């Protein structure tokens, strides 16, 4: 039997927003690409996922989660992997601009 007492307890307040997501009940394949998916097929799938996100009542919570945890895969909060990487890159560039020269 697995010993679970040492595992962190779930914190409902941090995750209950997921219960209201438009993505609930959707196939995960809409949001996460299969191996070797490229080009138009990938763009079409991402567009479908982003359409689900478009009027989602928890869009901002989902996006904040993805950015905070650096979700590496899938569409989260209406942002795909490349868009999140661009945000991280822009943040890094701005931080470097504001650091004093050594």
* 65 domain residue, yes or no: yes
Rounded to whole angstroms, how far apart are CA atoms 23 and 27?
A: 8
Residue 90 forms part of a structural domain: yes
pLDDT tens, residue by residue, 22-79? 999 999 999 999 999 999 999 999 999 999 999 999 999 999 999 998 999 999 999 9
* Domain-located, residue 7: no
pTM here is: 0.76
62 is in an annotated binding site: yes
Strand, helix or coil at 89?
helix
Residue 47 annotated as part of some ligand binding site: no
How many structural domains comprise the chain?
A: 1
The answer to the question of whether 53 is labelled as a binding residue is: yes
Q: Is 23 annotated as a binding residue?
A: yes
DSSP helix/strand/coil, 72: coil
Q: By three-state DSSP, how is residue 27 classified? A: coil
78 within some domain:
yes
Identify the bridge partners of residue 79 per DSSP, sorted by sequence position.
76
Q: Is residue 24 in some structural domain?
A: yes
**Confidence class of residue 9 from pLDDT cuts 50, 70 and 90?**
low
Give the domain range for residue 74.
Answer: 16-98
């Amino acid at each position: 039997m697995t010993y679970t007492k040492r595992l962190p307890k779930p914190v409902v307040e941090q995750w209950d927003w997921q219960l209201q997501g438009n993505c609930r009940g959707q196939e995960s394949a809409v949001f996460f690409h299969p191996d070797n998916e490229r080009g138009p097929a990938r763009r079409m799938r991402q567009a479908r996922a982003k359409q689900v996100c478009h009027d989602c009542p928890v869009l901002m919570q989902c996006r904040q989660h993805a950015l905070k945890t650096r979700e590496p895969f899938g569409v989260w909060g209406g942002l795909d992997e490349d868009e999140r990487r661009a945000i991280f890159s822009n943040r890094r560039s701005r931080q470097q601009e504001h650091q004093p020269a050594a």
